[in-house]
Amino acid sequence: MNATLAQWHTEHVNFAKLLDLLDSQLDLFHRGDTPHYELMLDIMFYMTHYPDAMHHPKEDLAFARIRERDMSMARIVDTLARQHADLHNRGGNLVTSLSDIVNGSMASRSSVETPAREYVAVFREHMNVEERDILPAAEHLLRDSDWSAISAAIRHIDDPLFGRTAVSRYAAIEEHLERQGAVAR
């Protein structure tokens, strides 16, 4: 498997860990318990800053090349590209809502839980389609020159949570992942 595709798969696994952690906090929220709002905010801050800034833009470039090489993939790649924008918007709205809560604003449970559950569901399904349809198509259709052009087009950002050096903002996430046996690195 191409190194970029292997990295994308690993990132999908890591994103799924964060969605699991977010789900566990939403379960607390649903039961009427108090979730760790700062943790939820950190998860969503990460999801709107690494996947949206690095992972998805590279995928969008790959999608365009896949579409050029195989028009039968057009519907799938167009849908996935639109979902990147949708996930970005949903994630940004969640960051705002969670930030407001952390800063003392009152919010109804449904105004946070429903959009957060929808975000998790859309993100999971999005990754499933990419794993099932896009990664194999990219492996088959894209050449080394495509991967070089894609890498050159997007400035590399080291993953601030799962990369070589974690940013201190994400220490609480790392701690929770370690407790769950889903160690970040």
Of the listed ranges 2-6, 23-27, 67-71, 125-129, the least confidently predicted one is 2-6
The per-residue pLDDT for range 30-55, each reduced to its tens digit, is 898 989 999 999 999 999 999 988 99
Q: Which pair of tokens denotes residue 22? A: 């977010």
**Does pLDDT of 184 surpass 60?**
no
> CB–CB of 97/44 below 8 Å?
no
**Does pLDDT of 185 surpass 60?**
no
Residue type, 49: H
What is the distance of C-alpha 37 from the center of its chain? 19
Q: Write down the domain spans for the chain.
A: 3-179
The per-residue pLDDT for range 128-137, each reduced to its tens digit, is 999 999 999 9
- Confidence at residue 183, expressed as pLDDT on a 0 to 100 scale: 61
Look at domain 3-179 and name its CATH class. mainly alpha
- Tell whether the torsion through CA atoms of 87, 10, 30 and 175 is positive or negative: negative
| Percent with pLDDT over 90 in the chain | 77
- Confidence at residue 182, expressed as pLDDT on a 0 to 100 scale: 63
Q: Which of 24, 56, 52, 51 is nearest to 180 (CA)?
A: 24
Mean pLDDT of the chain: 92
- How many Å apart are CA 87 and CA 29, to the nearest integer? 22
Query: pTM score, two decimals?
Result: 0.93
In this prediction, residue 156 has a pLDDT band, given cuts at 50, 70 and 90, of: confident
